Amino acid sequence: MSQYCPPPVLVKTWLMLIDLRSSAEARAHAKRMIEVNFGSVDLAIIYLEQSHTDLLHYSQSDVREISRIVATMPPHTNHSSHLA
């Protein structure tokens, strides 16, 4: 997990790329960026909530759906990815 804290709008974009069922490459990149920066979707969402922005208001069912999507994605193998 990185000590860099990306801007909330970027984190929201990563979550949207996963949730909107974008291309496989875009989804994999978004998942990788969330994992590198936060370790999990849940922690990324907590970060957004704590940033006190109006950028994200996911319901619990939305969070479960995004987590389910991420769980079904294959794990990434390149741990030397560049930050977005």
Q: Are 11 and 53 in contact (CB under 8 A)?
A: no
Residue 65 belongs to a domain: yes
| The pair of three-digit structure tokens given for residue 29, joined into one six-digit string | 């990149």
2 in a structural domain: no
Q: How do residues 34-46 score in pLDDT, each as one tens digit?
A: 999 999 988 998 8
DSSP string of 2-31? -S----HHHHHHHHHHHHTT--HHHHHHHH
pTM score, whole prediction:
0.66
- 1 in a domain, yes or no? no
**77, part of any domain:** no
Is residue 78 assigned to a domain?
A: no
Domain span at 14 = 8-72
Give the count of domains, the chain: 1
Give the long-range contacts of residues 68-74, CB within 8 A, separation 24 or more: 69/18, 69/19, 69/21, 69/27, 70/18, 70/31, 70/34, 70/41, 73/27, 73/28, 73/31, 74/28
Report the pLDDT value the prediction gives residue 53, as an integer from 0 to 100: 62
Domain annotation covers residue 53: yes
64 pLDDT tier (thresholds 50, 70, 90): confident
The predicted pLDDT at position 35 comes to 93
Specify if 44 maps to a domain.
yes
